[in-house]
Amino acid sequence: MKFVTVEHDGHQSAGVLAGDSIHVLEPGVSIQELLDDDGARLQDSGDRALRGSNLVIPVAEAHLRAPIPNPSSVRDFMTFEEHFIGVSGVAGSDAELPPVWYKAPGFYFTNPHVVHGPYDDVAVPPGCAAFDLELEVAAVIGSGGRDLTPAEAEQKIIGFTLMNDWSARDLQVAEFALPLGPTKGKDSALSLGPWLVTPDELEHRRIGDRYDLPLTARINGEAIGSDTLASMSFSFGQMIAYASRGSQVRAGDVFGSGTCGGGCLAELWGRHGAGTRPPLAPGDVVSIEASELGRQSSRIVAGAAGVDVGSFLAGKPARDR
């Protein structure tokens, strides 16, 4: 099944997609409220809605939000070698992966409070002059756990959705000087949707513990890169298991695959130079897509100027700087 979160008459509700229509589940009920170990509650609710929903909305008229509008947390991984090698050139690094990259699927925590819907406008972050997209796929789990095996972790996946991990590249590169991981370079927006696709819908794409799912990124209708989800060096089961090691994962947690090969502008800049293509600017339309997972389309708009918070050096005598 394909589940959505739709806004109607000022309220958000979960729904299930059937052809060109959305059959709304119980009014006011969210996808997150229906999560459980095996997805039975979500499946049952979807079945009931398809048999006789009180509200059916044409997709063309629906205001779709992110399928998981309020994730418990969002962990974003880096599992595509081509992407890592490509963006390394932006920071002046050698195009060679460090040995530690192959030992475990590295990730960082990103902001779950800036989730955007699949067709929402996205604003350029304050102070950013090198805004970029990042084409990813995210897995959502239906129940939590600790110290999971990859097989156990995979069984907890309730569905998959497209994810765009927007990046302020110039802010991000400046932050590399601090050994803390991404901060404001990855803090402004995260787009999810349009729908959450249950794993059974992707079985025909399965190759072992991967999915051969074609991915394409476009700017103003022009393709800038494509890849397949099968290019991941680590599976989602391995990623979630690693996240749970000595820790806890919970129902509704989102796990991003990391950017696929060719899924961002930074790869073009790293491989061919900064002048290869301009950064995203107000008026640009970014789309990402993956057959069964659907398509996002986001218009870039001007952002706020930002608040000047001052600096450590402000007001200090020149001799103390």
Domain harbouring 141, CATH code: 3.90.850.10
Provide the percentage of residues in the chain whose pLDDT is more than 90: 76
**Nearest of 26, 24, 31 to residue 8 by alpha carbon:** 24
Q: Are residues 148 and 251 in the same domain?
A: yes
Residue range(s) defining the domain that contains residue 258: 74-301
Q: What is the pLDDT of residue 114?
A: 97
Q: Are residues 79 and 40 in the same domain?
A: no
Q: Residue 208 — very low, low, confident or very high, per pLDDT cuts 50/70/90? A: very high
Residue-wise pLDDT tens digits, 33-68 = 999 877 889 999 999 999 998 899 999 999 999 999
User: Residue 316 falls within a domain, yes or no?
Assistant: no
Q: What is the pLDDT of residue 39?
A: 83
The angle, 0 to 180 degrees and rounded to 10, between the axes of the packed helices 81-88 and 265-272 is 60
Q: Are residues 171 and 24 in the same domain?
A: no
Q: What is the pLDDT of residue 308?
A: 86
Model confidence at 11: pLDDT above 70: yes
Q: What is the CA radius of gyration of the chain?
A: 20
Average pLDDT score over residue span 134-156:
97
Contact 102, 231 (CB under 8 A): no
Average pLDDT score over residue span 133-140:
98
Q: What is the bridge-based pairing of β-strands 254-256 and 157-164?
A: unpaired
Number of separate domains in the chain: 2
Q: Are residues 85 and 41 in the same domain?
A: no
Model confidence at 320: pLDDT above 60: no
- Return the minimum-mean-pLDDT range out of 91-100, 128-137, 217-226, 305-314: 91-100
Higher pLDDT, 9 or 5: 5
User: Residue 181 falls within a domain, yes or no?
Assistant: yes
Only one residue has tokens 């129940």, namely: 143
Q: Are residues 286 and 180 in the same domain?
A: yes
CB atoms within 10 A of CB 139: 25
- Return the minimum-mean-pLDDT range out of 37-41, 231-235, 265-269: 37-41
Q: Are residues 42 and 104 in the same domain?
A: no
Residue-wise pLDDT tens digits, 70-119 = 999 999 999 999 888 888 776 665 667 788 888 999 999 999 999 999 99
Whole-number mean pLDDT of the chain? 92
Q: Are residues 251 and 160 in the same domain?
A: yes
Q: Residue 318 — very low, low, confident or very high, per pLDDT cuts 50/70/90? A: low
Model confidence at 321: pLDDT above 60: no
Q: Are residues 35 and 157 in the same domain?
A: no
Model confidence at 314: pLDDT above 70: no
Q: Are residues 264 and 146 in the same domain?
A: yes
Q: Are residues 152 and 236 in the same domain?
A: yes
Collect contacts of 58-62 with beta carbons under 8 A, ≥24 apart. 58/20, 58/21, 58/22, 59/17, 59/20, 59/21, 59/22, 60/20, 62/4, 62/6, 62/8, 62/22
Average pLDDT score over residue span 254-279:
92
Higher pLDDT, 291 or 244: 244
Model confidence at 313: pLDDT above 70: no
Q: What is the pLDDT of residue 91?
A: 61
Q: What is the pLDDT of residue 182?
A: 84
Model confidence at 289: pLDDT above 60: yes
Average pLDDT score over residue span 171-198:
90
